[in-house]
Chains A and B, each alone.
Chain A
Amino acid sequence: EDKVVQSPLSLVVHEGDTVTLNCSYEVTNFRSLLWYKQEKKAPTFLFMLTSSGIEKKSGRLSSILDKKELSSILNITATQTGDSAIYLCAVRNQTGANNLFFGTGTRLTVIP
C-alpha cells in the first residue's frame, strides 16, 4: 500500500531558527515528490523533486530528494512568523491520473 509519512507532526520554533522537515515514502513506481505549504486556505505548491541529490531552492526554502532512502527534506532558514503553516509532502506514482498521495503534514509554528 502506498504511504507517505512526515515528521515531526508538529514543531514550534523561534524566529530566526532553521528547521528541517522530513518526508519518507513507500510508493509503487515512484515518479515525483512534491512539497506544499498550507495555511488557512488551500495548499500552495513549493517544490517538485524527481532526481536524487539535486537541491531545489527558493529564497529561504530548499529541498532535496534521496531516492535510495526513499525520503526528502524541506529546509527553512531564518524562519519568520509568516512561515507558520502546515507543510505537506505528496508523492506521485506512475499512473495516468497524476494523483498524489499526501502525508498528514508537519504543522510549523514560528513565534516572535
Chain B
Amino acid sequence: EADIYQTPRYLVIGTGKKITLECSQTMGHDKMYWYQQDPGMELHLIHYSYGVNSTEKGDLSSESTVSRIRTEHFPLTLESARPSHTSQYLCASSTGQVSSYEQYFGPGTRLTVT
C-alpha cells in the first residue's frame, strides 16, 4: 500500500544530542518536503527536494539539514538539539505533475528537547 512514513512518532531528547528524523514514502514521488508546526501556529516549510541529490531550504530558516540519496527517503538531521527545536515536524511528498498538486503528509514526529 502506497504511503508515507515517519519515525519516530515521539522523541524526547536532551540538549546537545544529534538526532535524525526519518521520512520514507512508497508512492514514487519525486518531490518531498519537511514542515515545522508549533501549536496553534502555521505550517512552515523548512526544506524541500525536487528529486535525488536535490535539496533546498524553505521559507522558514532552520538549523536542520536534509539529504536525498534515494527517491523514497528524505531524512532530517539536527546536529545539536536545543529546546527551541521543540516542535512537530511533518514530512510530505507530491508527484509534482500538472494534474496532481496534492501533497500527502506523514503522521509527523513530535520532538521535545529538554
Contacts and interface: CB of A to CB of B under 8 A. Distances in A.
Interface residues of B, number: 24
Interface of B: 31, 33, 40-45, 48, 50, 56, 58-59, 90, 94, 96, 101-108
Nearest to A45: B102
Contacts of B94: 98
Interface of A: 4, 31-32, 34, 36, 41-45, 48, 88, 90, 92, 96-100, 102-104
Given A34-B101, A34-B103, A103-B42, 15 more contacts: A36-B105, A41-B108, A42-B108, A43-B90, A45-B104, A48-B101, A96-B50, A97-B31, A97-B56, A99-B58, A100-B45, A100-B103, A102-B42, A102-B44, A104-B42
Contacts of B33: 99
Nearest to A100: B103
Contacts, number: 51
A41 B101 CA distance: 21
Interface centre among B31, B96, B104, B105 (most CB of A within 10 A): B105
A100 B44 CA distance: 9
B48 A99 contact: yes
23 contacts: A4-B42, A31-B101, A32-B101, A34-B101, A41-B107, A42-B106, A43-B43, A43-B90, A45-B104, A88-B43, A90-B43, A97-B31, A97-B48, A97-B50, A99-B45, A99-B48, A99-B58, A100-B43, A100-B103, A102-B43, A102-B44, A103-B42, A104-B42
Q: Determine the main DSSP class of A at the interface with B.
A: strand
Nearest to A6: B42
Contacts of B48: 97, 99
A32 B90 CA distance: 21
Nearest to B44: A102
A44 B105 contact: yes
B105 A43 contact: yes
B66 to A, nearest CB: 14
Contacts of B56: 97
